[in-house]
Structure 1
Amino acid sequence: MNPTRLSLVAYARISDLSGKRRTLASVLGVEAQHTACEAMARDAGAIVIKRYTDNDRSASRGEHRPGFEAMLADMHHGRTADGEPVQGVITVDVDRIYKTPAQWERFVTAFRAAPGRLFMDWRGQRDLYAPDAEESGLQDVSTVMRENSRRSDRTRRWHAAQAQRGIAHTGGRTFGYRPVPGSPGTIEVVPEEAAVIREAVAACVEGRPWGSITQIFTGSGIPTENGGPWRTQTVKQIISSPRLAGLRMLDGLIVTDQAGEPVLGSWEPIVSPSEWAAVRERHAPRHRAPGGRSRAGRGRTPRKYLLSGFLLCGREVDGGLCRCVMSGCATKAGQSTYRYACRPRSDGGCGGSAVRGEWMDREVADLVLGVLAAGRPGVLKQPAWSRARELNAIQGRLDELRTRQRLGDITETLFRQRATVLSEILDDLLAEKRAWEAVEACFNDDGPERLRRWEMRPNEGGYGLRQRRALVAEVLTSVLVFPAGRGTRRRRGEGYLPILKDGLTGRQVT
C-alpha cells in the first residue's frame, strides 16, 4: 500500500422499502454505492481499506445497523479489526450514514476520536473539525428529515388518490395477481394461484388450524417467491390482504367514498368481502404507525424466558433429529405457566415436542450451577465492553457543550437541542454499561454466592434474566430435548441431552 495515500473506510446503505427486500436489486444497490466510493477515493488520491454495509436497513426508522455500529467502533479505536488505520470516511451521501440528530452526534464524535481524518461524499471533502461543523451537520439532518417528511406526504397523498380511483397498489407482485404487460398500474388474476387462495380462505373460514391451511399452499406445488418452504406467517399475510376482496386499506382502514361505502378496485377480486372479513376476524396483521414503527412499541422484543434460543427439538423426523429451536410460550392450562415447544411443520419445525418451562429451567439451572461450582471466581470472562470509548467521548462532548453555554459561545436553542440528544445517547450507553457490569459481577461470584443469588428474586438482590442467560451461555451451546410422550411425567435428569461448551465437563444426563 502506498504510505502517502489516505486509508478510508466506505459506508453504504439502502433502505430498500420498495418490495425488493433481500433480492439481487438490493444487493446491487449497495454494491453500486461502494463502487462509486472507491472511484471517488481514487480521484482524491486515497484508497478504501474496508467496506461497511447495511442492506435493507432504514436509518430514519431507527433500525439497528450492524455496519454502522462496526464503523463507529473502529473509528473510536482508530483501526479496523485487521489493524488498518482509519484515516477517513467516504460515502455517496451523508444521508446514508445519518438521518437523525442522535446518529449525527454519534458519528461526528467517533470521527473526531482521532485528528486529521478526511470525510468525503458526492459533494467533495468536508471539514468535520470546523467550529461550525455541528451546526452544519444538524442542518443536514434537518434538511434530510424535511425531505423525508415531504416525500412521505407526497407518497401518502398519491396512494390515497390511487385508492380513491380504485387503482391497485403495484409496489411488488403479490401471490394471486401479476402486472398486465404494457398496462402500467393494472393487475390480473393468476388462475392457479387464485384457486389455492380460495381453498385456503374457505379452510380459514371453516376454522381449520393454520398448519392445515399452510399445507394447502405446500401441497399446491407452487413455490414461494424465494423458493423456500411455505410458512404460516406468509400464508396469513396472503389470505388476509384486502386486495383479494377488491379493496384497499390505508393506515389500517378500508378506503371509502364520500358516502362511507368501500371503494371497489378496478381489478378482479378473488374472494368476496364477507369471506375476507371472516379471515380478518381470525388474523388481523399488526398495524404500523406512520414512520414504520409498530404501535406496540419499538425495537426488538427482549428475551422473556431463560432458555429461549438454547433448546433444540430432539424428536426423530425423516430418519434424523428435528433440531428446530424450541420457543417459549405461555400456557392456558395445567400446572405450568409456560412451556418450550417445537414450531409447527408449517413454520419449519415438527410440532411434536414440548416441555414444561419451569421443569426445564430448573434442570438446566442445576446443571449449569453444578458445572460452575468447581470453577474459581473470576474464571468466567466476557469480552470487554466495546463502547467504553464512545461513552467517554460522548461525556466529553456534553461537558464541552456545557462549557460553551457558560461562555456564551452557543445559542440557548442550539444548546438545548444538542444537550437533549447527547443526554439521551449517554443514558443509553450508561444503561448498556450497567447491564455489562451486572454480568461481570455474577461471573466474579463464587459458587455458594452464585447459588444464593440464583435462588433469589431479582428485586431482592438475585440475578436478573440477562445474568442468568449469560451464565447458561458460559456452560451450554444448546440442549436437545426429547419428546416424553403425551401424559408422561418427566423425571429429573432424563429426557434431554446438554451440549456443553468445549473444555467443560458435567454430570452425565441421558
Structure 2
Amino acid sequence: MSDLVAPERSGLIPVASYARTSEAFRQRDGHGVRHQLRINERTARQQGCRVVAAYADNGCSATKAGVTRPGFDQMIEDLVRGCTADGQEIRGVVCVADDRLYRRPEDLSRFYAALTAREGRVYLDPQGIRDPYTQDGLLQAVRSLEAAVTETRVRSRRVSNWHWARAVEGVPHSGPRPFGWQEDRITLHPDEAVLVEQAISDRIGGKAVRAIARYWCDLGVTGTRGGRPNAQTVTQIMTAPRVCGYRANRGVLLLVPETREPVPGQWQPIVTPEQWQAVCATFSPGSLYLHRGSGTPRLTEKKAKPRTLGSGLLRCGAARSDGTECRGAMCSQKGRSKRSPYVYTCRSCGRCSISGPLADEALERILFFDGPSHALPPDFVGPRWTAGEMGLEEKREAIRSVLICCVVRPGVKGDRSWDHSRVQPVWRYATHEEKAEAVS
C-alpha cells in the first residue's frame, strides 16, 4: 500500500484508491502510479471521501490474458471482505479512469461483483460519483469497457501494421539488440558473431544443442538481456532468419510478392542462406526449441505443466520504490546446492528468492498445521497426502481450495537458516460462513 493513505477524518466516506500503468519498458520508477494516486486523493477530497487504502500495479497490462495484477487482486479481496487487512472499512473505490481498472470483461465482472458485494458502496472518478447499483451506473461501466476494447483493437492493428511495413523494407527488429549484432542492429558484434557462426557449423556437424549451450556458459557468455544461454535460446539464435540476412515478421519469413524471394534485411549476415537452411533442417518441425515470440503459438499446442508445488502460488513480498509490494509471481529454477536443488525467484523484480524445498514445506505446514480451523482442507486430504497417494496437481488444487496465494517476504542476506515465517498465507475465506456459502 502507498504512503499516500490519508489520516482519519470523520464524516467522510472511506474509499480505496487504485492506480495502474501499462507495461513500462523504459521507465520503471513508478512515477505514473504515484501521479494517479495523487489525483485520486484530490478527487476523493472534492467528492467528500477519504482514501484509507491505496493499491497500485506498475507496468502491468490489463489487456493481455493471464497477466497477474497483485494490486488489483488485493483490492478485490479487500472489497469482498469489506475492509483492509488492518481493519479499515472500505465503502467505495476511486480511480482516474475506468480503463485503469478493467479492459477485459472478466475484470469488469470481478470488480463490480466485489464493489457491490455490500450495500452503500460508491465509485468515483474525476467526473464525479457513480452509483454502481443502478442500471445507468452499470451501463456506463459497460460503455467504458466497449470503448477500451475498441481502442485496444485499433492500437494493436496500428502497431501490427507499423511492424509489418518496417519488416518488408528490411528494417531491423526494434527492441533489445539481437545476439550477434551491435547496438545499431546492422554491424556484426566481433565476438558474438563468431560464436553464432561456430555454433551453426557445430550443429550441422551433429553437435547437441545442450553441449553448445554449456560451452557458451563455460565461456561466461550472457544474452543481450543478461540471461544465461540454454538449449532453447541458442536454438532460436541459430535458426532465426536474420543470421543469413533474411527478414521475418512474427516468426514468419517474409517474401517479396513479385519474385517470392525472401525479403533481404539491411544488416550484415553471419552465415549463408544455405547454412541457415541446413541448421534449421537439424530440428524437427514440432520442436519446442523453435518456439519464439509471444505472438507465435507452440507448434505442439501443449502447455508446460508446473513441476513444483509452489509454482504460481507464491507472490513476491519485496517492497517497490513507491512503497507498494511487488506481488509478482515467483517461478522455480535450478538451485546450486543439494539442500536447495531448486529455488523460487520473482520474475518481475528479481529481488526476492527462497529455497524451493523450504517454501514447499512451509506450504504444507500452513495447509495442515498453521491455518485457522475454517481454512482446513477436507478431512480426506490429510491421510492421502501423507500416504503419498496424491499427485502434484491434486496437491496444488487442495492448496488453492483454501489459499489465494502466499506472500514470500525477502530473506536476510547471508542468513541460511530456514525461516518458515517468510511464507505468509492469504486465505481464500475469512469465516466459516463465507466458506460454506462458496461451497454451496
What TM-score bracket applies, with the shorter chain setting the length?
0.5 to 0.7
Change (3 A) 1:441 1:172: same
Q: SS at the partner of 1:170? A: coil
Q: Which position in structure 1 is the counterpart of 2:340?
A: 323
Q: Does structure 1 residue 82 correspond to structure 2 residue 99? A: no
- Aligned-partner residue type, residue 378 of structure 2: E
Q: Which position in structure 2 is the counterpart of 1:9?
A: 16
Change (3 A) 1:148 1:125: same
Q: Which position in structure 1 is the counterpart of 2:272?
A: 272
Q: Which position in structure 2 is the counterpart of 1:27?
A: 28
Q: Which position in structure 2 is the counterpart of 1:137?
A: 141
Q: Which position in structure 2 is the counterpart of 1:109?
A: 113
> What is the distance in 2 between the residues matched to 1:179 and 1:312?
30
Contact 2:98–2:141 (Cα < 8 Å) also in 1: no
> What is the distance in 2 between the residues matched to 1:224 and 1:8?
46
Runs of 5+ unmatched residues, structure 2: 1-6, 313-331, 344-363, 401-417, 422-440
Contact 1:200–1:216 (Cα < 8 Å) also in 2: no
Deviations 1:400-441 (A, max 9, x none): xxxxxxxxxxxxxxxxxxxxxxxxxxxxxxxxxxxxx9x524
Alignment of 1:356-395 (within 5 A): none
Alignment of 1:33-48 (within 5 A): 33-45=33-45, 48=51
Contact 1:8–1:89 (Cα < 8 Å) also in 2: yes
Q: SS at the partner of 2:187? A: strand
- Aligned-partner residue type, residue 52 of structure 1: Y
Change (3 A) 1:256 1:37: same
Instruction: Tell me the CA shift for residue 146 of structure 1.
Output: 1.4
Contact 2:253–2:262 (Cα < 8 Å) also in 1: yes
Q: Which position in structure 2 is the counterpart of 1:212?
A: 211
> What is the distance in 2 between the residues matched to 1:304 and 1:153?
37
Q: Does structure 1 residue 194 correspond to structure 2 residue 177? A: no
Instruction: Tell me the CA shift for residue 454 of structure 1.
Output: 6.5
Contact 2:103–2:149 (Cα < 8 Å) also in 1: yes
> What is the distance in 1 between the residues matched to 2:182 and 2:18?
36
Q: Which position in structure 1 is the counterpart of 2:315?
A: none
Q: SS at the partner of 2:255? A: coil
Q: Which position in structure 1 is the counterpart of 2:327?
A: none
Match of 2:75 among 60, 68, 71: 71
Match of 1:97 among 91, 96, 101: 101
Q: TM-score, normalised by structure 2?
A: 0.64
> What is the distance in 2 between the residues matched to 1:471 and 1:131?
39
Match of 1:52 among 45, 55, 70: 55
> What is the distance in 1 between the residues matched to 2:143 and 2:386?
54
Match of 1:62 among 62, 65, 71: 65
Q: SS at the partner of 1:163? A: helix
Q: Which position in structure 1 is the counterpart of 2:291?
A: 286
- Aligned-partner residue type, residue 290 of structure 2: P
Change (3 A) 1:323 1:454: closer
Contact 2:33–2:57 (Cα < 8 Å) also in 1: no
Bigger Rg, which one: 1
Runs of 5+ unmatched residues, structure 1: 181-185, 327-370, 373-377, 387-436, 456-462, 474-498, 503-510
> What is the distance in 1 between the residues matched to 2:102 and 2:398?
36
Aligned pair count reads 348
- Aligned-partner residue type, residue 210 of structure 1: V
Contact 2:251–2:292 (Cα < 8 Å) also in 1: yes
- Aligned-partner residue type, residue 95 of structure 1: D
Contact 1:12–1:91 (Cα < 8 Å) also in 2: yes
Q: Which position in structure 2 is the counterpart of 1:339?
A: none
Q: Which position in structure 2 is the counterpart of 1:240?
A: 239
Change (3 A) 1:14 1:237: farther
Q: RMSD across aligned C-alpha pairs, in angstroms?
A: 4.3
> Which one is further off, 1-10 or 158-167?
1-10
Q: TM-score, normalised by structure 1?
A: 0.56
Q: Which position in structure 2 is the counterpart of 1:153?
A: 157
Instruction: Tell me the CA shift for residue 198 of structure 1.
Output: 1.9
Deviations 1:448-497 (A, max 9, x none): xx499976xxxxxxx66544567899xxxxxxxxxxxxxxxxxxxxxxxx
Q: SS at the partner of 1:143? A: helix
Contact 2:123–2:131 (Cα < 8 Å) also in 1: yes
Change (3 A) 1:123 1:34: farther
Change (3 A) 1:379 1:251: closer
- Aligned-partner residue type, residue 267 of structure 1: W
Contact 1:33–1:92 (Cα < 8 Å) also in 2: no
> What is the distance in 2 between the residues matched to 1:273 and 1:9?
59
- Aligned-partner residue type, residue 380 of structure 2: C
- Aligned-partner residue type, residue 247 of structure 2: R
Instruction: Tell me the CA shift for residue 296 of structure 1.
Output: 6.1
> What is the distance in 1 between the residues matched to 2:341 and 2:216?
21
Contact 1:75–1:86 (Cα < 8 Å) also in 2: yes
Contact 1:442–1:467 (Cα < 8 Å) also in 2: no
Change (3 A) 1:118 1:274: farther
Deviations 1:259-308 (A, max 9, x none): 21100011111222333334434365326786x7767669x754478899
Q: Does structure 1 residue 442 correspond to structure 2 residue 380? A: yes
- Aligned-partner residue type, residue 265 of structure 1: G
> What is the distance in 2 between the residues matched to 1:305 and 1:222?
29
> What is the distance in 1 between the residues matched to 2:35 and 2:103?
22
